[in-house]
Structure 1
Amino acid sequence: MNYGYGLWIMVIVNIVWILLFVVSFIKPKKKREWRSMGVVSAFFVALFTEMYGFPLTIYFLTSVLGYKLPVLNPYSHENGHLLASFGLGVDKALVICQIGSLLFGIGMIIIGIGWWQIHRSKGGLVTSGIYKYIRHPQYLGIFLLTIGMMIQWPTISTLVMWPILMRSYYKLAKREEKEVLNEFGEEYVEYIKETPAFFPFEWNRREINRSNML
């Protein structure tokens, strides 16, 4: 029986390169920023460990719960994608993986654009470019990175961790906005009124009403 895991070098290489990318462009400095980055790190460690190291989700379903997956060898890497193991087929699962890869790539681009604009501003308030459409493009980039990877390789551990990651960055964004409001005052209040937080077509009137309470 072909066992498509145990590739620990691949696990380490993938974890290192993605975390180097995220840390380089997000540039966490404060304790709370590193705390959120720790959640991202744990997410990718869990993801790549199951993708190349040990298929914990497949093992849990087959050995612990006794679920019989409709494939001959659920421990081959081709059937490692949960949708393939549940009978969707390797070809269709690969198409879905490409959708995940596309979201992952878009997330990387958004993170890079957000970093470039912040870097050019040299401490000023950025309200143009991508920041004209969303206030936190780099955090949107992280959301897309992680959603893309969950589509590409869904696991129980990452599905559990993703809401925690989202909540962590949502709270971080709100705390950062309080600091920016203290620095830029009414200018930032007006920016909040005109610009959604995370998604270009998001429009939440409650944010306008709360802008003076940040």
Structure 2
Amino acid sequence: MHAPDSGYGLWLLAAINAAFFIFFAWSFYKPLTRWDWRGFGMFSAFVVALFAEMYGFPLTLYVLGGWLSANYPQVNWLSHDAGHLLEMWFGWRANPHFGPFHLASFILIGGGFWLLSAAWPVLYRAQREGRLAREGAYARMRHPQYVAFVLVLTGFLLQWPTLLTLASYPVLVWAYARLARREERDCLSRFGEDYVSYMQEVPAFIPRRRRGPVRSAGEVR
């Protein structure tokens, strides 16, 4: 079903890549609560769907094959490089791995994993000490872990868009927003006015320009 040089049908490679990125994310995130596991599970499902198409079966290219061939006859849509749809659509004919969308995806994916790695130790220490995390990344946004996942997912979507990941992306963003709100209800129940003050000072997802350190309403919570 694939051309000899298509780069598809490599299910072992798909499994290895999916496992690598899932383990990489877990090593930074280390989910503890049920909300953590739900967020991590959704991320993992997205990654599996992505690499299943990237190296396994190119469902998107098969579904859109007729339209793509008719509108972009100069592109070999059976080649593996054609999976970089944004580069193909915008006329990038050099190596797609050096295309603008692919390079932007590296920045977003790297930034997302960096944010995860920066946020987790702060949250872990706060949970062990029974207090509210308000330093580091949590001094700029209340939910850096979900922002990090969205950055990584956006990067993957730019790099290798598929019908499944494109359809699931807004659902995942909405689900992360809901998980964040549920976490906040738990924090309000646990920390009370301290968390109310935190919510007033620090935005949920998009950091404001820095105006000085966040004030703590109490160190022991």
Same fold by TM-score, threshold 0.5 exceeded? yes
Q: Partners of 1:118 and 1:139 in 2: how far apart?
A: 13
- Kindly report which structure 2 residues correspond to 1:181-196, keeping only aligned pairs within 5 A, or say none: 181-196=188-203
For residues 66 and 130 of structure 1, the distance between their equivalents in structure 2, rounded to whole angstroms, comes to 43
The yes-or-no answer on 1:117 pairing with 2:122 is yes
Summarize deviations over 1:61-119 as a string: whole Å, max 9, x none. Answer: 015x6752333421111222112443612438423101101100000000011101112
- Please give the TM-score of this superposition, normalised by the length of structure 1: 0.85
> Please, which of 159, 162, 166 is the counterpart of residue 152 of structure 1?
159
Deviation at 1:36, TM superposition (A): 3.5
Q: Deviation at 1:185?
A: 0.9
Picking from 73, 79, 83, the partner of 2:82 is 79
Partner residue, 1:165: 172
Q: Distance in 1 between matches of 2:30 and 2:174?
A: 19
1:96 and 1:37 map into 2 onto residues whose CA distance is 25
Structure 2: tracts of 5 or more residues without a match: 210-221
- Do the aligned residues in 2 keep the contact of 1:146 with 1:162 (CA within 8 Å)? yes
Distance 2:40 2:103 in 1: 26
The TM-score, its normalising length taken from structure 2, stands at: 0.82
The unaligned stretches of length 5 or more in structure 1 are 203-214
Task: Show CA shifts across 1:43-78 (max 9, x none).
Answer: 111111111112111110015x67523334211112
Partners of 1:138 and 1:97 lie apart in 2 by 23
Kindly report the root-mean-square deviation, in angstroms, between the aligned alpha carbons of the 2 structures. Answer: 2.1
Whether the aligned pair in 2 keeps the contact of 1:150 and 1:159 (CA below 8 Å) is yes
CA–CA separation in structure 1 for the residues paired with 2:101 and 2:125: 37
Separation (CA, whole Å) in 2 of partners of 1:72 and 1:119: 49
Change (3 A) 1:175 1:134: same
> Hey, what does 2:56 align to over in structure 1?
53
Please state how far the C-alpha of 1:39 moved relative to its aligned partner.
2.2
Native 8 Å contact 1:15 1:44 kept in 2: yes
User: How far apart, CA to CA, are the structure 2 residues paired with 1:46 and 1:25?
Assistant: 21
Q: Go from structure 1 to structure 2 and tell me whether the alpha carbon gap of 1:197 and 1:92 turns closer, same or farther (over 3 Å shift).
A: farther
- Distance in 1 between the 2:94 and 2:131 partners? 49
Q: % of aligned pairs identical?
A: 40
